[in-house]
Amino acid sequence: MPRNNSEIRTRFAPSPTGRLHLGHVLAARVADALARQSPAGKFLLRFEDIDAPRVREIYYQNIIEDLEWLGLHWDEMPLRQTTRTAAYEAALARLLGKSLVYPCFCTRREIQDEWANMAAAPQGPEGPLYPGTCRRLAASEREAKIAAGTPHAWRLDSQLAATITGPLTFHDLRFGTLAANPGLLGDVVLARKDIGTAYHLAVVVDDAFQQITHVTRGEDLLPSTHVHRLLQVLLELPEPEYLHHPLVLDEQGKRLAKRHDALAIAALRESGQTAAEVLARVNAEFQPPLRTSWHR
């Protein structure tokens, strides 16, 4: 469907693996507030539910109830990533056709052993990176393992991919234009052994599918954006704008996690807080910049 170039489309993309907490409210609120800056803007809801072992049916409903209680109304039908498997497979097949992904047979244990044996394991922002073991396998070895039914993930050959795309940038409404470092997270998994897909691939494919113009999310996911930019170019998908917002921190300055039950929306509601109070609390944490101040 053709759409006006100035129409902003954002999404809130929770995983139905737990209840929403204050951090999610900030994420949803930022996406909503940004979309409402354009008259025909759309705020979409996407359930990132590919992690089947951790997803529980009850959480879809809980998320909807919490958003409704907060008065955050999404447009269009919520999208469940579990309905999008064919699109992820097609994207992976495309990368495979360009020899940019390779099967990885390593177990977690084998990767840890490899790190232990290295003089210096390659480091990323969240710890050591995959050492590239299976990238170095001969084609005949790969074929033999696949023929033998050895379980495998698919990893992006990030260095090869970067040589194809050349230097890339992305633009964040808070941080400005940043140079993408495609190797920042190493050879990331694009299809997990157990579920056949993975976050980085699914998010990039779906942001394009849902015509998201502005990807808003917590700044903890900033490293992922470097990989996403690379994938967007490889898959010839449009480049969205980004807004990585600060995280809501607890009293100890640590980021909120599912274990912070006291800050779950349901708990705040039951303790007598109103939706207006909860929203005021996250609004005080951060608000998206107003459109007049955006520049590239």
Interface with ligand GLU (CB under 6 A): 13-15, 48, 203, 217, 221
Rounded-to-10 torsion of CA 233, 234, 236, 239: -20
Residue with the CB atom nearest ligand GLU in the bound state: 217
Minimum CB separation of residue 112 from ligand GLU in Å reads 26
Output 134 or 203, the one with its CB closest to ligand GLU: 203
Minimum CB separation of residue 216 from ligand GLU in Å reads 7
Output 155 or 217, the one with its CB closest to ligand GLU: 217
The span from the CA of 281 to the CA of 294, in Å, is 25
Output 111 or 282, the one with its CB closest to ligand GLU: 282
Minimum CB separation of residue 15 from ligand GLU in Å reads 4
Output 249 or 276, the one with its CB closest to ligand GLU: 249
Minimum CB separation of residue 26 from ligand GLU in Å reads 11
Output 221 or 267, the one with its CB closest to ligand GLU: 221
Minimum CB separation of residue 221 from ligand GLU in Å reads 6
* Torsion over CA: 132, 137, 141, 147 (sign): positive
